[in-house]
Amino acid sequence: MTIRFDDQVAIVTGAGNGLGKSHALELARRGAKVVVNDLGAARDGSGSSSDAAMAVLEEIAAFGGEAIAHGANVAKFDEVEDMVKLAMDTWGRVDILINNAGILRDKSFSKMSLEDFKLVLDVHLMGAVNCSKAVWEIMRAQKYGRIVMTTSSSGLYGNFGQSNYGAAKMAVVGFMNTLVQEGAKYDVRVNTLAPTAGTRMTEDLITPDLLELLTPESVTAGALLLCHKDSPNRMILCAGGGGYAAVNIHETDGIYLPPDQQNPETVLANWEKITDTSNQRALSAGAQQTEKFVQKAIAYREGK
């Protein structure tokens, strides 16, 4: 099956460079009409310029694609609303949103200012929230939508010097988990990409010889899977350098302790059983955890 996006409209944030540029170009090559969003800021979020976005437009036009540019700062909802309005005025719908825009302000937590912590959250988390909010009712009304969040191994597993970035990147996974439930009956599917690529965001972290392997295009292959019409839902897909893997969050079956044993000493004494992974499973809603614990308590009470 060839994956195509003919007659679909896609918004890609942070599309002037790196992964966003790669996503935008490939969507356009496969028939999508693309909003190339880029503030044109430096890696730390400072400054702005339309040059990068306009260069992407020229590349798309060169192979016969259709695209427009918008310089919205994703951390500012009024600017995001204006970007979505431009898409609607131009093409009348929005089918795909790839929340890719991001910045870095790396420092150890002890040396990091709260301003730098909040700024990274504003761009990565609130940027994804703002853009998703701006297209949400459009997608619900047309009973179709595909939203891709961008997480990171720094959020999923941690990375020294990136407490702000890691917090933001894990937060978008929680955001996805609820949007999946609220969008299901409208065929609005939400997935998350965990990329590893050689871009200006990672150039200080990866040696030059490895950067050549970690192409943005290898990540885009995963991104496009997550936003086509037959995409999965609630998927965390890792992609980088030709490698692809899935991340799942599991919960152990756990134990039940009767009221007279519900103390930290007994919890500690049962730690091996609590952490036993033999019957672990992925839960699809928070209420399933409550249901599991209540069932254990009822089973104990009825068995007494």
Catalytic residues: 165
Q: Report phi then psi at 169, rounded to 5.
A: -70, -30
CA proximity to 168, closest of 133, 128, 197 = 128
Report the alpha-carbon distance of residue 29 to residue 78 in Å, rounded.
30
Asked if 219 contacts 196 with a C-beta cutoff of 8 angstroms, the reply is yes
Asked if 211 contacts 203 with a C-beta cutoff of 8 angstroms, the reply is yes
Q: Which residues contact 56 (CB under 8 A, 6 or more apart)?
A: 15, 16, 21, 24, 25, 36, 38, 67, 69
- Which is it for the CA torsion 12, 18, 19, 24, positive or negative? positive
**Can you give the length of the chain in residues?**
304
